[in-house]
Amino acid sequence: MPTDPRHWFLARDERGNTATDVHSGGGDDGAAWSDGNAVRPLVHGAAYFARLHAELSALGPGDRVWFTDWRGDADERLLPDGPTIGDLLADLARSGVEVRGLVWRSHGERVSASLSARSNELLGRKVNDAGGEVLLDQRVRVFGSHHQKSFVVQHRDDPSADVAFVGGIDLCHSRRDDAAHEGDPQAVAIDPRYGERPAWHDASLELRGPVVADVLAVFAERWDDPHPLDRSLPYRMLLQRLTRMPRHPEPLPERTPPPPPAGDHAVQLLRTYGVKRPPFPFAPQGERSVARAYGKAFRNARSLISIEDQYLWSREVASGIADALERNRELRVVVLVPRYPNSDGPLGGPPARLGQIDAIRELQRTAPDRVGVFDLEHESGRPIYIHAKVCIVDDEWFTVGSDNFNRRSWTSDSELTCAVVGGSTARDLRLELWAEHLATTPDDPRLLGSGADLLALWTASARALDHWHEDGEPGPRPPGRVRRHVPEPVSAWQRLWAAPAARLAVDPDGRPRRLRGSTRF
């Protein structure tokens, strides 16, 4: 493990150039990290929404709120008794707070009476009618999406109070769950095996210090992109007019200096932007610093890689972990994924499961006794949907953000993730997460030790619960929620159409053509 955290951060391309420089708005050289920050992990949507509510409620005239999101439901409650995110942002706009947002416009979205199809549009209209400016942004690759989830909250008279949030939690239904995992009362329908009110595991970060300005710079790059917000098709232009959405954002005001130092964490903002036409002005060849940072972290891993992710798909993702396992016989890998894809029907399921099956096979073929893949089960027997995007390496380096472990997130969709070192936060985050999954407390000494010891702990917990089910559930249920993950198979004839469907639409490759088909980013 390098002693200087900067060695973790500078994820370089094949020519040795740094992957990103958020301080100067994108580029190939210069520092890609920020010192002097305070980072607070927020596990579960209920914790994130409560913190977001507290920060937004403290704002007054002249303050600013800038955010990005994949999906937002205007009626999603931030607290059990409200307010909703739409009402709160609209009230802020009416009170003189500058509210600006960029939310993704789906390629297939049409004017319809469906709340699900129009959730982002309805959130935007609610805030815009109150004087804010929330825009539907489709400046992405075909089959791609804007997947970044961030908030920047600025105080006109006290920059030291500025705060940013970056993570994987959307402003929408099903996200407000907690450690009990009873699910958000405002639920979305996913695979029916998760029940009517799916248990939802998620995470985000609260950031203070100079990195807040870096998050704002990422927002400003997207906002200032001169290309039209929608694709230049007649029905798209008509749709913009019908929904009263402009095709170009209003110019941003002059930005304020970065907040003063607030802590001892060093943070790098990692991003993905796919190659597209017209290109992103700030990333004309795309950007893949998310993938490059993971590659460097895996190469430096000594004992343990812990991953909690929605997917774990694709050969490109698995190859970096497999290479690390081949180089280091002491390395262990613990992976937590959902038991089923969120949409596991006859058409959507096989392409999703195929990518995961192939990734798991590559890892287990490389190191069958040094990799464990698990999922979670609520005490009621319902599976818990894993939406978190968390990676922790050797309790010293960790990421939380919007990217998933799949080719789409590492090459095609717009993503924003924080890599963090400093203090004991990486270890504390792992202990908090594992204590919940294994039904113990963060001070349990079993949660410390070598990678081999920790993988053995997960394996034993999963084996106990698996055997309890296999034996007909005799006696008390074993403690913990961990089950060994076994994806449902994909038949030979399903592979014939699922493999091309995955490559083209489910898990596309947004790299330059010279890199496609390789494991380089």
pLDDT in tens, the chain (521 residues): 445 655 654 554 433 444 433 333 333 322 368 999 999 999 999 999 999 999 999 999 999 999 999 999 999 999 999 999 999 999 999 999 999 999 998 744 443 333 444 899 999 999 999 999 999 998 999 888 999 999 999 999 999 999 999 999 999 999 999 999 999 999 999 999 999 999 999 999 999 999 999 999 999 999 999 998 876 555 555 555 555 666 678 889 888 889 999 999 999 999 999 999 999 999 999 999 999 999 999 999 999 999 999 999 888 999 999 999 999 999 999 999 999 999 998 988 999 899 999 999 999 999 999 999 999 999 999 999 999 999 999 999 999 999 999 999 999 999 999 999 999 999 999 999 999 999 999 999 999 999 999 999 999 999 999 999 999 999 999 999 999 999 999 999 999 999 999 998 899 999 999 999 899 99
Q: CB-based contacts of 184: which residues, under 8 Å, 6+ apart?
A: 45, 173, 174, 175, 176, 177, 197, 200
CB 434 within 8 A of CB 447: yes
Residue 341: asked if its preceding bond is cis (omega within 30°), the reply is: no
Q: What is the pLDDT of residue 25?
A: 35
Q: Report the predicted TM-score, pTM, of the whole model to 2 decimal places.
A: 0.93
First CA to last CA distance, the chain: 22
Q: What is the pLDDT of residue 248?
A: 73
Element (H, E) at 83: none
Q: What is the pLDDT of residue 281?
A: 95
Residue at 447 is within a domain = no
Q: What is the pLDDT of residue 143?
A: 83
Distance from C-alpha of 248 to C-alpha of 256, rounded to nearest angstrom? 23
Query: Left (φ > 0), alpha (ψ -120 to 50) or beta: where does 195 sit?
Result: left
The amino acid occupying position 27 is G
- Per DSSP bridges, beta strands 332-336 and 304-308 are parallel
Tally Cβ neighbours within 10 Å of residue 172: 24
Residue 83: asked if its preceding bond is cis (omega within 30°), the reply is: yes
Distance from C-alpha of 457 to C-alpha of 438, rounded to nearest angstrom? 9
DSSP 54: H
Distance from C-alpha of 207 to C-alpha of 34, rounded to nearest angstrom? 11
Q: What is the pLDDT of residue 110?
A: 41
Tokens of residue 511, six digits: 């790299």
The amino acid occupying position 235 is Y
Tokens of residue 28, six digits: 């190939």
Distance from C-alpha of 398 to C-alpha of 392, rounded to nearest angstrom? 4
Q: CB-based contacts of 191: which residues, under 8 Å, 6+ apart?
A: 340, 341, 342, 343, 344
Burial of 473 (0-12, 13-18, 19+ CB in 10 A): exposed
The amino acid occupying position 178 is D
Distance from C-alpha of 49 to C-alpha of 149, rounded to nearest angstrom? 13
Domain with residue 93: its CATH number is: 3.30.870.10
| CA-wise closest residue to 511 among 286, 312, 317 | 286
In Å, how far are 188, 318, 360 from 322, measured between CA atoms? 35, 6, 10
State the greatest distance between any 2 C-alpha atoms of the chain, in Å, as a whole number: 66
Distance from C-alpha of 169 to C-alpha of 84, rounded to nearest angstrom? 15
What does residue 411 show for φ and ψ, rounded to 5 degrees?
A: -140, -20
Q: What is the pLDDT of residue 91?
A: 98
Considering its fold, how many domains does the chain have in total?
A: 1
| Residue linked to tokens 């990486």 | 426
In Å, how far are 101, 292, 503, 511 from 317, measured between CA atoms? 31, 11, 14, 14
Distance from C-alpha of 457 to C-alpha of 461, rounded to nearest angstrom? 6
Distance from C-alpha of 296 to C-alpha of 271, rounded to nearest angstrom? 15
Tokens of residue 430, six digits: 């792992």
Residue at 119 is within a domain = yes
Distance from C-alpha of 3 to C-alpha of 14, rounded to nearest angstrom? 23
3-state helix, strand, coil in the chain (%, to 5): 35, 20, 45
Residue at 343 is within a domain = no
Tokens of residue 431, six digits: 């202990």
What does residue 167 show for φ and ψ, rounded to 5 degrees?
A: 180, -155
Q: Which domain holds residue 100?
A: 36-242
What does residue 273 show for φ and ψ, rounded to 5 degrees?
A: -140, 130
List strand residue ranges (DSSP E) for 377-475, in order. Answer: 384-386, 390-393, 397-401, 415-421
Which residue(s) pair with 166 in the sheet?
Answer: 150, 205
| CA-wise closest residue to 388 among 306, 281, 305 | 306
